[in-house]
Amino acid sequence: MKLHSNPASPFGRKVKVTAIETGLFDRLEINNVQTSAVGPDLGLVADNPLGKIPCLVLDDGSALYDSRVICEYLDTLHGGARLFPAEGPARWTALRLQALGDGIMDAAILARYETFLRPENLRWPAWVDGQLDKVVRALDRLEAEADELGKRLDIGTIALACALGYLDFRFAAMSWRSTRPRLAAWFELFAARESMLRTLPSA
């Protein structure tokens, strides 16, 4: 299987962490691409018309996207404990936390694009502030729930950890830990997992 990704992508990291945790990483051929809405990678577009990463190309040539679909697919290929709980409250909690983590990543990436890709004279500071406000609200909610995260490993905690790692990578000035000690303590433990250490983001 070929995974279109990028070392800086938090969504790509989410897939790679999932692959490591499920013992499937060695089955992936990683194809690092540089792509954006204004400069799509043509090889990626051939597999995903949206031109977005991550995109997983299966052995039969078909492709899966986005990270939610890819991660759930990988979770069907191993014999260990499921990262997507099958039913009940555990499933809905994991999916909700995944949505929250994905939402943090989405908002942070949009803020990053506005300040990094858009020409300076066209930038919209209020847009950036609005996106980062979403991040702040989500982090505050997670601080309130941090004691419930515990040492659970599922798609929700993986998504949250990748989101927090992206904030450290691209938005260190936010100092999100300063007012969220319980969330910071949880992340310190989770970030020490081999899957997280092997997938640290880079430019």
Q: In sequence order, which residues have a C-beta less than 8 Å from that of residue 14 and are 6 or more positions away?
A: 54, 67, 71, 101, 158, 159, 162
Q: Measured at the alpha carbon of residue 167, what is the angle toward residues 182 and 81, in degrees to the nearest 5?
A: 65
For the domain spanning 88-195, the CATH number is: 1.20.1050.10
Could you report the per-residue pLDDT of 91-142, keeping only the tens digit for each?
999 999 999 999 999 999 999 988 887 788 888 899 899 999 999 999 999 9
Interstrand relation of 2-5 and 29-32 (parallel, antiparallel or unpaired): parallel
What is the model's pLDDT at position 203?
85
For residue 149, count CB atoms less than 10 angstroms from its CB and return exposed for 0-12, middle for 13-18, buried for 19 or more. buried
Could you report the per-residue pLDDT of 30-69, keeping only the tens digit for each?
999 998 878 889 999 999 999 999 999 999 999 999 999 9
- Is the per-residue pLDDT at 80 higher than 80? yes
For the domain spanning 2-74, the CATH number is: 3.40.30.10
Q: Do domains 2-74 and 88-195 have the same CATH topology?
A: no
Q: What is the pTM of this model?
A: 0.96
Percentage of the chain modeled with pLDDT above 70: 100
Q: Tell which phi-psi region holds residue 100, choosing left (phi > 0), alpha (psi between -120 and 50) or beta.
A: alpha
Other CB atoms within 10 A of residue 195 CB: 20
- Domain range list for the chain: 2-74, 88-195
For residue 172, count CB atoms less than 10 angstroms from its CB and return exposed for 0-12, middle for 13-18, buried for 19 or more. exposed
- Is the per-residue pLDDT at 151 higher than 80? no
What is the model's pLDDT at position 122?
84
Contact (Cβ atoms closer than 8 angstroms) between residue 91 and residue 154? no
